[in-house]
Structure 1
C-alpha cells in the first residue's frame, strides 16, 4: 500500500495566541477543534478518529464535549513538538486502510499561564510528561540545567563553534519570523518590529542563545481535520494533499551527552524517507514551515533537510532567501518565534492556508508545494510534505 496522495487536510482552526487566558487547555482545544470541523463544512458527528496531543487532554474528553459518538480510532504520538506533524503518518495509515474516515488532530496548552499562575485563575492540573524529563531531573538539573534553553545549548553551542556560525545567521531567522508575523492578525508579536541591532543587543540566556533566539510562550490551541482526498474534494475547500511524511529519532532519545554525534537529529533520518515517499526534493518546496523553538534549531533543520551542507545554513539564510519574496519563504505566519508556540500545529494550519491560496498579505505567490517539520524533546524530528490539490 502506498500512502502518498491518499489523504488531505480538509479543515483548520486555531485560537488566538495570548499571554494569559481564562480558558482551560480543554476549552481552548475544543474551540480550535470545532473551528476546524466547521471550516471543513462538517459536524462533530462526521468525525470518527481523534489523535490527541501527548499530555494535557485525553481523546475521550474531546469526544464527550464535542458530541463525537462513534470514535473508531485513536492514538497519541509521543514526540513532544514533533507530535502534530508525525500524527499525519498515523492518520494517513488509518484513512488509507479504512480504519477511520475523518480524523481530528488537535493540540493546545497553557504554555504561558501555567508557568505564571494567577490568584484569580483556575489552577491547571495538566502537566506534560516525557521520559527525558527523568534524565533532566536526575542528571541535568543538579548542574543548573533546568529548562529548555540550557538543554538545547549543550549541542547548539557545539554546532556554532564547530562551523563558526555567526549570530547574524540566527538573527536572520528571528527577523524573518518577526517580519512575517506583522502580516498575521493572530500573531502575538505582530505589532513589535525587530531589527538586527535589536537582536544583537538582546541578552544571552545561555550561549549561544540570546533572548530573541527563543520562541514566545503562549496560551493557544490549533487543530486540523483530515480525510481522504476523494472526500475532501466534496467539502468546502480545495484539498491540501499529504504527499509524504516520516518521523526520526536521535539516539539515545532521552539523553544528549552520550550520543555518538550530538548534531545528528531525528530529521536527518526522517527527511530522506519523506522525500522518497512524496517523490520530490527539498529544493522543490515553495515554502518552509520549520519548527522554530530556537533559531539555531532552524539552521540545523535546513541542513538536515538537505537544503545546505553541514554548517552551510548561515549562507542559505542570507540575501532574503527566507523572506516572503525569497526562494524559500520561512514561517510565513511568524512561527513559534513570533506568532506563538502551539507545538508546531500552527505551522500545519499556515501551510494549509498557503496551499489554499488563502493566506492574505502573507501569501506566497502561486505556491504548489510546501513542507512542515516538527521538533520534539531532545531531537525527535518529523516532516510532512503537502501539495495544493485539485478542486
Structure 2
C-alpha cells in the first residue's frame, strides 16, 4: 500500500529571480545539493530521479554533475504543471515497491529569462505528439497563451455561478499578503489590496495582471525515501499519506471547453483518490497549497476537492477563510502569484515546511496538508502528514 510508506525527507531550492544568470542544469544541481544537505544524505545515497517531461536537464546529466554513481529508477511526467505532485507519487511508488531507496524529484528552469510559457509558443502547437495536434486547432484562433485559455474557463464560471473579478482578486490578495512576509518570495514586502488588483491592467478579459502568476527562474528539489528511514534523518519527515493523478472525461490540455462540466473534473478525480487513500476528509486538512497559476482555478479547486459546494467558493473565501487565521489558509509561502512560479514544486516544499512547523507563516497545529498540481490539464495531488496514514 502506498499510503504512509514513503516520506519527503529533504527540500532544497535556489533563489527565485527574473534572471538567474546560469543554466537550467546548474539550477537543478544546486537545488538537489541543497535538498540532500537538508536531510543529511549525499549523492551516493541517491538511486532514483524523477522530473517533468518539459524539463531540459536529463536525469543522467543531473546524476553526472552530482556524482551519483548509479540510477536504478528514472521517470518523467507529462502535462506541464500537472506533473508536480506526480513526480513525488512516482518516487513514492518506487520507494514503496523497493525499486529504489532514495529518489529525488527536481524541476529547474529559466522561465523568465529563457523560454517564457506566458507568451505565444509556436512549439506548443508543433510538438510531435497529439498535444501538439490539439493545440493546432486552437492557436490559430487566438487561444495561444495560457491566460487566453483560462479566460475562457473563467468567463463561463462567472456566467454559471455569478462569480466576479473581485472574487478572483481575493485569491491574489491572500497570496500576496503571505508572500509579503516570506523573505524567499519575489514579492517579499509587497502586499496588494483588492483595489490594486482591480486597477491592474487587463491581460485577457476577465483576467487582470494580478490574476496571473509570475514567470520565474529557479529550481526546487525534493528527497523521497521510506518513512522509516526518513525518521532517522536530519529533518522531521513529511509522510506521504496519499498521492494521486487524475484526468477527466473528454480531457484536453487547457482547452477542455466542450464537456458539460463547467469545473475541472480532473481535480475531482484527484481529490476523491486522495481522500480514499488517506482516509481523511476536507475537514481534517489544516492548510492547503492550491496551484495558483491563475486565480479562477483556485476557486474551482476548492469546490472539486470538497471544501465547499459547486459555485460556493466565492462565498467560502469572502470572509478571509484562505488567509492566515482563516479556516483554510492557502499558499502560505505566497504561491506562484507571490513567491515564484516553479511549476508547483515550490508549493510542495512549503507543504513540507508546514508539516515540519518551520514555515515563515506557520499554521497552528498542522497535522495534514493538501497540495495540488496544475489545473486545466491532467493533474495530480498529495496529502502530506505529520504522523502518516491512519
TM-score under structure 1 normalisation? 0.93
Instruction: Show the counterpart of 1:305.
Output: 305
**Whole-Å Cα distance in 2 between the matches of residues 28 and 272 of structure 1?**
35
Instruction: Show the counterpart of 1:352.
Output: 352
Question: Which residues in structure 2 correspond to 1:119-198 (within 5 Å)?
Answer: 131-136=130-135, 138-198=136-196
1:214 to 199, 212, 230: 212
Match of 1:104, SS state, is strand
**Whole-Å Cα distance in 1 between the matches of residues 169 and 20 of structure 2?**
30
Q: Report the alpha carbon displacement of residue 220 of structure 1 after superposing the two structures with TM.
A: 1.0
Q: Report the alpha carbon displacement of residue 189 of structure 1 after superposing the two structures with TM.
A: 0.9
Q: Report the alpha carbon displacement of residue 82 of structure 1 after superposing the two structures with TM.
A: 1.7
Q: Report the alpha carbon displacement of residue 135 of structure 1 after superposing the two structures with TM.
A: 2.3
User: Which stretch shifts more, 217-226 or 259-268?
Assistant: 259-268
Instruction: Show the counterpart of 1:120.
Output: none
**Whole-Å Cα distance in 2 between the matches of residues 94 and 13 of structure 1?**
21
**Whole-Å Cα distance in 2 between the matches of residues 233 and 281 of structure 1?**
25
Structure 2 unmatched ranges of 5 or more: 117-122
Q: Report the alpha carbon displacement of residue 108 of structure 1 after superposing the two structures with TM.
A: 1.5
- Contact kept, 8 Å, 2:79 with 2:377, in 1: the verdict is no
- Contact kept, 8 Å, 1:265 with 1:380, in 2: the verdict is no
Instruction: Show the counterpart of 1:284.
Output: 284
**Whole-Å Cα distance in 2 between the matches of residues 171 and 74 of structure 1?**
40
Q: Report the alpha carbon displacement of residue 86 of structure 1 after superposing the two structures with TM.
A: 1.2
TM-score under structure 2 normalisation? 0.93
Q: Report the alpha carbon displacement of residue 268 of structure 1 after superposing the two structures with TM.
A: 1.0
Query: Against the structure 1 CA distance between its residues 342 and 131, is the aligned structure 2 distance closer, same or farther, given a 3 Å change threshold?
Result: farther
Query: Against the structure 1 CA distance between its residues 262 and 350, is the aligned structure 2 distance closer, same or farther, given a 3 Å change threshold?
Result: same
**Whole-Å Cα distance in 2 between the matches of residues 39 and 50 of structure 1?**
17
Q: Report the alpha carbon displacement of residue 21 of structure 1 after superposing the two structures with TM.
A: 1.9
Query: Against the structure 1 CA distance between its residues 90 and 75, is the aligned structure 2 distance closer, same or farther, given a 3 Å change threshold?
Result: same
Q: How big is the alpha-carbon RMSD for the aligned residues of Structure 1 and Structure 2? A: 1.8
Q: Report the alpha carbon displacement of residue 127 of structure 1 after superposing the two structures with TM.
A: 9.2
Instruction: Show the counterpart of 2:251.
Output: 252
Task: Give deviations 1:133-173, integer Å, cap 9, x for gaps.
Answer: 4322x222212222111112222211111101022211110
**Whole-Å Cα distance in 2 between the matches of residues 112 and 285 of structure 1?**
33
- Contact kept, 8 Å, 1:238 with 1:389, in 2: the verdict is no
Q: Report the alpha carbon displacement of residue 91 of structure 1 after superposing the two structures with TM.
A: 1.6
Instruction: Show the counterpart of 1:69.
Output: 69
**Whole-Å Cα distance in 1 between the matches of residues 82 and 12 of structure 2?**
19
Residue-pair matches, total: 377
Instruction: Show the counterpart of 2:27.
Output: 28
Task: Give deviations 1:258-292, integer Å, cap 9, x for gaps.
Answer: 33435233111111111110010112111010000
- Contact kept, 8 Å, 1:256 with 1:262, in 2: the verdict is no
**Whole-Å Cα distance in 1 between the matches of residues 336 and 130 of structure 2?**
24
Task: Give deviations 1:109-143, integer Å, cap 9, x for gaps.
Answer: 11101147xxxxxxxxx99967434322x222212
Query: Against the structure 1 CA distance between its residues 112 and 134, is the aligned structure 2 distance closer, same or farther, given a 3 Å change threshold?
Result: farther
Structure 1 unmatched ranges of 5 or more: 117-125
